Amino acid sequence: MNEGQARKEIATIAKSIFDRGLTHGSTGNISLKLSDGWLVTPTGSSMGTLEPEQISKLDWEGNLLSGNAPSKEAPLHLAVYEERPSSNAIVHLHSSCSVALSLIEDLDEHDLIPPLTAYYAMRVGKLPLVPYFAPGDKALAETVRRFSGKHHAMLLAHHGPVVAGSSLSAAVDATEELEATAKLFLSVYHHRYKSLTSDEVKELRDKYPIKA
């Protein structure tokens, strides 16, 4: 995919995310690797109205090459790419059920949601909670770096998900799966509910390995 196509793909997917209420206001950011750098959505922009040429192009030191000023989370995206050479795209949203999940006390912070559905096990797997830091904080990027070697999906406390994928569509797919399962989990949380067994999860993970 060339740079022009990549810019269009980000703008199209960002609008779809915004139109379905998966992030709001000027929250969230998306990035995508290119052969000669990477693209990230500009700071302060609404995902609903992004023009392809506004999207920031950066080099691997984080310098702006073209487009508007980059997301304040660009160092976080860069840290994930540095730790995950197989990842080609990253999605960060403020999707409300996922944020709500990050506020619940006494969940397992190494794995917040049990394997409620097959697609959650196939697309997300394990979801750790990343401790709270202010958006754009250098310490947030460095903390995410520590998680991202082992995890392609993580949840920032009081903030929202960060999900890496082998492609932009794979990263968006997994982020949507996380939001849908967070909603499901919130609705069964105060009930007695069943999860998939570890054998069932293992069978899924063997048959549908997550490439992220």
Which residues are known to be catalytic?
73, 119
**177 touches, from Zn ion, ligand 13P, none (C-beta below 5 to 8 Å by class):** none
- CB nearer ligand 13P, residue 27 or residue 117: 27
116, amino acid identity: L
- CB nearer Zn ion, residue 57 or residue 94: 94
What is the CB neighbour count within 10 angstroms for residue 35?
Answer: 9
**44 touches, from ligand 13P, Zn ion, none (C-beta below 5 to 8 Å by class):** ligand 13P
CB of 55 to Zn ion, least distance (A): 17
CB of 180 to Zn ion, least distance (A): 20
- CB nearer ligand 13P, residue 73 or residue 177: 73
- CB nearer ligand 13P, residue 91 or residue 112: 91
**143 touches, from ligand 13P, Zn ion, none (C-beta below 5 to 8 Å by class):** none
- Own/partner contacts of 43-46, CB < 8 Å, gap of 24 or more, are 43/68, 43/69, 43/70, 43/71, 43/72, 46/18
Going by C-alpha positions, the residue among 42, 32, 25, 29 that lies closest to residue 5 is: 32
Beta strands per DSSP E along 35-130 = 37-40, 56-58, 64-66, 89-92, 129-130
Binding site for ligand 13P (CB under 6 A): 26-29, 43-44, 71-73, 92, 135
Binding site for Zn ion (CB under 5 A): 135
Output Rg (C-alpha) for the chain, integer angstroms: 17
Q: How far apart are CA 37 and CA 158, in angstroms?
A: 31
CB of 38 to Zn ion, least distance (A): 18
